[in-house]
Amino acid sequence: MATTRDRIVAAAVELTTSEGWAAVTMARLAAAAGVSRQTVYNEVGSKPALAEVMVLDELARFLGVVEQAFDAEPDDLTRAIERAVRDVLTHARANTLLHAVVSATHGADTELLPLLTTNAGSLLGVAKEVVGARVVPYAPGIDAAHLDPAIDMVVRVVLSHVMQPSSSPEQTGADLAWLAGRVLKAT
């Protein structure tokens, strides 16, 4: 059963994807979610806080895709990375919120974009933590001092391809898996 917060965030995503982030006001959001404006503020805080909640909720869905990919390849780190990258990029292609955020760069509605680019610290931190926890059980052949930067680079490259793909999800997944396999000395 959806909580009040879930309904508010879902309404914000719907407004953002259908009309743009500029159309999201606390009054419209309250009406769309069937709650008072004060409830919106109590549940999600300010509009910038709401933006962060939306992005982090969407990140959780993307990380669920990563988790499933690693679960499907429990014995081969390189294949797990390839599947995770491919599936994340495939998910990104169909993600309406992501498209609304990225397409905002072509207009004045750019308030959400920094959450995925220049101010992406919390997003990167959460993603690196999840990926790191999934990589360690494979016992990659890389020392601990270099594992974190390797994971950081893979996460950042995937985010870059989410924002601006240069190839198909399958090709990008294969390319990044090949590279990560060399760096991590995965067997």
Residue 141 DSSP label: S
| Lookup: tokens for 32 | 């769309």
CATH code at 1-45: 1.10.10.60
Confidence at residue 108, expressed as pLDDT on a 0 to 100 scale = 43
Query: What residues does each domain of the chain span?
Result: 1-45, 54-184
Helical segments of 73-116, H only:
77-93, 96-103
Confidence at residue 97, expressed as pLDDT on a 0 to 100 scale = 82
- Local structure of 139: helix, strand or coil: coil
| Lookup: tokens for 77 | 């780190």
pLDDT along the chain (187 residues), means of 10: 91 89 90 94 90 85 95 96 97 85 55 56 85 93 91 91 92 96 74
Confidence at residue 144, expressed as pLDDT on a 0 to 100 scale = 85
Confidence at residue 36, expressed as pLDDT on a 0 to 100 scale = 95
Cα–Cα separations (whole angstroms), residue 32 to 4, 6, 58: 12, 12, 20
